[in-house]
């Protein structure tokens, strides 16, 4: 099901491939997913990419956010949901235009964000396996577009 989003991810890559950097944010189990996604982007595209703990946003990374900085956030309906939503609002307040990777059943997040990538729901400790696939596909398409 996640792999069927390849066209959507490729479209996102065409919007991002000319950028110098991308920030990927999450909390809890999804912080590791952010780090893995950022590493894949760095390794195969030679593009600066940084995985950021969403709870540390006010301690520096928020200063990087503006309307030009690509931000990808992983927000799932787990124990970090409310805090991730707060981080999302901080990004939006700085004129950020985040792409949110979320549970396909999270109607609130889907409704309140212009750009979402919807993944199937799984148990919390395994959700990262599904959530990292869009980031891996993005890294692939960015690498192809960047030559």
Is residue 62 situated within a structural domain?
yes
| pLDDT tens series, the chain, 147 aa | 999 999 999 999 999 999 999 999 999 999 999 999 999 999 999 999 999 999 999 889 999 999 999 999 999 999 999 999 999 999 999 999 999 999 999 999 999 999 999 999 999 999 999 999 999 999 999 999 999
What does pLDDT average to over the chain? 96
Do residues 25 and 57 touch, judged by C-beta distance below 8 A?
Answer: yes
pLDDT digits (tens, 9 = 90+) for 67-107: 999 999 999 999 999 999 999 999 999 999 999 999 999 99
> Is 28 part of any domain?
no
Instruction: Confirm whether 21 is domain-assigned.
Output: no
Residue 123 lies in a domain: yes
Q: From CA 125, how far away is CA 92, in angstroms rounded?
A: 28
Residue 43 located in a structural domain:
yes
Q: Which CATH number covers residue 108?
A: 3.40.50.10490
In the chain, what is the straight-line distance between the N-terminal and C-terminal CA atoms, in Å? Answer: 28
Q: How many domains does the chain have?
A: 1
Smallest CA-to-CA distance from 88 within 118, 37, 54 is with 54
Whether 50 is in a domain gets the answer yes
Range of the domain at 134: 2-14+35-146
Residue with tokens 């309307």: 67
Interatomic CA distance for residues 96 and 48, integer angstroms: 18
Strand ranges inside 1-147, DSSP E: 21-26, 48-53, 71-75, 99-103, 116-119
Look at residue 90 and tell me if it is in a domain: yes
């Amino acid at each position: 099901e996640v792999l069927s989003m390849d066209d959507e991810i490729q479209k996102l890559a065409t919007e991002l491939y000319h950028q110098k950097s991308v920030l990927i944010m999450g909390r809890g189990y999804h912080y590791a997913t952010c780090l893995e996604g950022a590493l894949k982007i760095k390794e195969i595209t030679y593009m600066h990419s940084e995985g950021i703990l969403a709870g540390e946003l006010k301690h520096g990374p928020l200063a990087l956010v503006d309307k030009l900085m690509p931000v990808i956030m992983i927000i799932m309906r787990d124990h970090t949901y409310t805090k991730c939503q707060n981080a999302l609002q901080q990004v939006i307040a700085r004129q950020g235009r985040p792409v949110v990777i979320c549970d396909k059943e999270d109607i609130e997040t889907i409704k309140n964000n212009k750009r979402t990538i919807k993944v199937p729901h799984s148990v919390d400790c395994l959700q990262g396996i599904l959530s990292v696939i869009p980031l891996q596909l993005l890294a692939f398409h960015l690498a192809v577009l960047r030559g």
